[in-house]
């Protein structure tokens, strides 16, 4: 009886499987090496926020540097605003009230320095939560803050009585402890939920 011949097709398939498995393992190792050797990802700096220096009603300078170490909110508006600004400040007040002794500063920066002096701003924010700070300054200083926060602000037509309105963007900015922009803070939720998010940045 002739000797049994080896099953060459079966051996060939086994060899092919081993080759494929070896190549797959090599590919996994190579990908892992590339992953470990990749340079650390650095987040791009935000285009929102930056240096500013304005005055409060007591004549003190409040800047991005004096606020370092604490998260804070920023809102731009003006005291002659008929509805949007007081409504937004009212909602911010409700959120800050939920934080108790953990509350954070909220800056109300005028877009109308012609009428809103630091003292006028101080008197205006006294109707809201005590952690809201009214700020103003020279047109140049206010303009620099608007530019840093990418704020749109434009003086409207002069009215018959000499008054005017201001067209402006309405965004509440959340900044972290380092003064970096986090997000446009969402006030379209309960004050409790909004305050809970703020506590995460303390």
pLDDT per position as a tens digit, 135-183: 999 999 999 999 999 999 999 999 999 999 999 999 999 999 999 999 9
By the 8 A CB rule, do 118 and 53 touch? no
Average of per-residue pLDDT across 28-52: 54
Task: Report d(CA 63, CA 85) in Å as an integer.
Answer: 22
pLDDT at 2: 52
Is the model's pLDDT at 101 over the cut of 70? yes
For the domain 53-199, what is the CATH superfamily, name and number?
Glutaredoxin (3.40.30.10)
Average of per-residue pLDDT across 65-89: 97
Beta 166-168 vs 106-110: how paired, if at all? unpaired
> Please, which pLDDT band fits residue 108 given cuts at 50, 70 and 90?
very high
pLDDT at 46: 73
Is the model's pLDDT at 64 over the cut of 80? yes
Which is higher by pLDDT, 151 or 45?
151
Q: Where are the beta strands (DSSP E) in the chain?
A: 53-55, 61-63, 72-77, 106-110, 132-135, 153-155, 166-168, 172-175, 181-184
pLDDT > 70 fraction of the chain, expressed in percent and rounded:
78
Average of per-residue pLDDT across 124-145: 98
pLDDT at 97: 98
Q: What is the pTM of this model?
A: 0.78
Domain ranges of the chain: 7-39, 53-199
pLDDT at 41: 39
By the 8 A CB rule, do 64 and 178 touch? no
The residue whose two tokens read 């998260």 is 71
pLDDT at 39: 37
Average of per-residue pLDDT across 80-87: 97
- Flag the least confident range among 31-35, 56-60, 165-169, 178-182: 31-35
- Flag the least confident range among 22-26, 67-71, 100-104: 22-26
> Please, which pLDDT band fits residue 16 given cuts at 50, 70 and 90?
low
Task: Report d(CA 94, CA 188) in Å as an integer.
Answer: 12
Which is higher by pLDDT, 43 or 93?
93
Task: Report d(CA 181, CA 95) in Å as an integer.
Answer: 19
Using CB atoms within 10 A of its CB, is residue 172 exposed (0-12), middle (13-18) or buried (19+)? buried
In whole angstroms, how far apart are CA 106 and each of 38, 54, 61? 40, 14, 15
Beta 181-184 vs 172-175: how paired, if at all? antiparallel
């Amino acid at each position: 009886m002739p000797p049994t011949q080896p099953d060459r097709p079966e051996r060939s398939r086994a060899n092919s499987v081993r080759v494929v498995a070896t190549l797959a393992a090599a590919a996994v190792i190579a990908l892992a090496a590339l992953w470990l050797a990749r340079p650390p990802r650095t987040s791009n700096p935000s285009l929102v926020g930056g240096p500013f220096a304005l005055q409060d009603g007591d004549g003190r300078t409040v800047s991005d540097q004096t606020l370092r170490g604490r998260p804070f909110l920023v809102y731009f508006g003006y005291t002659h605003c008929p509805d949007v600004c007081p409504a937004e400040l009212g909602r911010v007040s409700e959120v800050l009230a939920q934080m108790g002794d953990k509350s954070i500063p909220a800056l109300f920066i005028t877009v109308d320095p012609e009428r809103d002096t630091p003292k006028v701003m101080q008197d205006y924010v006294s109707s809201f939560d005590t952690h809201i700070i009214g700020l103003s300054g020279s047109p140049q200083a206010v303009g620099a803050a608007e530019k840093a926060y990418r704020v749109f602000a434009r003086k409207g037509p002069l009215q018959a009585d000499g008054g005017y309105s201001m067209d402006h963007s309405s965004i509440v900015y959340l900044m972290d402890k380092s003064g970096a922009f986090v997000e446009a803070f969402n006030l379209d939720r309960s004050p409790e939920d909004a305050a809970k998010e703020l506590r995460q940045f303390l």
